[in-house]
């Protein structure tokens, strides 16, 4: 439904407050305070401190509830508010935080959602949202690289199980155990001990480890990094283009407002200036 001019003016002021740095800094501060409160509850504290933390937790929950209601009130298209993934996440976390912790059946869920309140820092800070969105968009392409890496792991694990089982059955007993051993090798966790053990029987087995490390730790890792950087670059370009388009829209809207004001002034001046008929009437008098 269309709003009146006064309502639109009030909503405009509220939207400026919601997007202001003071409001965003306040929300970030409360989120950090919530994280510190959650961490403090994991220690053995005096009863007075525990009561203070409980009161602080309730106050933070009320603040987040009022904040999400305020954001919903100033959102332009309220029907699409929950269609935004970050708004949906914030709403679920805030509503879930309302679960009373004295309810034994839902205490675990309530505490878990209170821990997730720390993740709201991602939805509040635009730079963090940009990183998460880029990572999510890179996952499909990273999935193919992960599939290829799994194939390489499986091939090397099968080879290692065939050749090295007699040397150390705990590390190479079957394909699954061999894949865990190769994961240890890929993360460079004492991998030389594994290599030197097999080299006592197969001196040339160092080629097995070197080629595996070259493929996994260098080739596939760099491919993953390349995909993420490419997606982030595309997201940055799209973000800059969207900002430029928004700036053009804002400039066009401001020019329209200035034009309307000029037209209003022109009409007001024309109504006050005497016309030809008024001059002739004055001459006749």
CATH code of the domain containing 109: 1.20.120.350
Same domain, 146 and 117: no
Q: Is the same domain home to 23 and 147?
A: no
Mean pLDDT lowest among 31-45, 104-118, 143-157: 104-118
Is 167 found in the same domain as 235?
yes
Q: What is the per-residue pLDDT for 5? A: 55
Bigger pLDDT: 174 vs 107: 174
Mean per-residue pLDDT for 114-134? 79
Cβ(31)–Cβ(118) below 8 Å: yes
Mean pLDDT of all residues in 131-144: 84
Contact (CB, 8 A) for 156 and 249: no
Domain boundary residue, one of 91, 124, 157: 124
Confidence of residue 105 (pLDDT cuts 50, 70, 90): low
Tell me which range, 70-74, 136-140, 193-197, 261-265, is most confidently predicted by mean pLDDT.
193-197
* Per-residue model confidence as pLDDT tens digits over 67-102: 888 888 888 777 778 777 778 888 888 887 776 656
pLDDT band at 127 (very low <50, low <70, confident <90, very high): confident
Residue 260: give the domain boundaries. 138-270
Q: Are residues 87 and 167 in the same domain?
A: no
- Same domain? For 152 and 261 the reply is yes
pLDDT above 90: percentage of residues in the chain:
19
Same domain for 167 and 71? no
pTM, rounded to two decimals: 0.60
Last residue of a domain, one of 124, 155, 190: 124
Domains contained in the chain, number: 2
Quick one: 245 and 220 in the same domain? yes
Q: Does residue 18 contact residue 71 with C-beta atoms inside 8 Å? A: yes
Q: To 5 degrees, how large is the angle CA 224–CA 228–CA 234?
A: 145
Residue 62 inside a domain? The answer is: yes
Query: Is 65 inside any structural domain?
Result: yes
Same structural domain, 117 and 229: no
First-to-final CA distance of the chain: 55
Give 198's pLDDT tier (boundaries 50, 70, 90).
Answer: very high
Residue 168 lies in a domain: yes
Q: At which of 124, 147, 169 does a domain end? A: 124
Q: What mean pLDDT, rounded, does the chain reach?
A: 81
Q: Cβ(214)–Cβ(186) under 8 Å? A: no
**Angle, helix 107-116 to helix 85-96, in steps of 10 degrees:** 140
Considering the domain architecture, whether residues 146 and 261 belong to the same structural domain is answered as yes
DSSP 118: G
- Within-domain flag for 281: no
DSSP letter string, 62-103: HHHHHHHHHHHHH-S-GGGTTTSHHHHHHHHHHHHTTS-TT-
**pLDDT number for residue 48:** 87
Whether 131 is covered by a domain: the verdict is no
Q: Which run of H or E residues covers position 124? A: helix 120-124
């Amino acid at each position: 439904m269309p709003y009146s001019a006064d309502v639109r003016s009030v909503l405009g002021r509220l939207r400026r407050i919601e997007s202001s740095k003071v409001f965003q800094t306040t929300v970030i501060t409360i989120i950090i305070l919530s994280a510190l409160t959650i961490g403090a509850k994991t220690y053995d504290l005096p009863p007075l401190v525990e009561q203070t933390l409980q009161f602080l937790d309730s106050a933070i929950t009320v603040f987040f509830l009022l904040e999400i209601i305020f954001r919903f009130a100033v959102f332009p298209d309220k029907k699409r508010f929950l269609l935004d993934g970050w708004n949906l996440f914030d709403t679920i976390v805030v509503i879930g935080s309302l679960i009373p912790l004295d309810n034994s059946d839902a205490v675990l869920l309530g505490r878990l959602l209170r821990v997730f309140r720390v993740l709201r820092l991602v939805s509040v800070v635009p730079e963090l949202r940009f990183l998460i969105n880029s990572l999510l968009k890179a996952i499909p392409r990273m999935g193919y690289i992960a599939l290829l890496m799994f194939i390489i792991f499986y091939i090397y694990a099968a080879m290692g199980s065939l050749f090295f089982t007699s040397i150390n059955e705990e590390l190479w007993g079957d394909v699954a155990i061999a894949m865990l051993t190769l994961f240890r090798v890929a993360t460079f966790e004492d991998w030389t001990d594994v290599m030197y053990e097999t080299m006592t029987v197969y001196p040339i087995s160092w080629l097995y480890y070197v080629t595996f490390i070259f493929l996994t730790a260098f080739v596939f890792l760099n491919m993953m990094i390349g995909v993420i950087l490419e997606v982030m670059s595309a997201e940055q370009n799209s973000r800059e283009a969207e900002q430029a388009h928004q700036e053009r829209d804002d400039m066009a809207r401001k020019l329209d407002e200035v034009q309307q004001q000029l037209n209003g002034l022109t009409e007001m001046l024309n109504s006050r200036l005497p016309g030809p008929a008024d001059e002739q009437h004055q001459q006749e008098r």
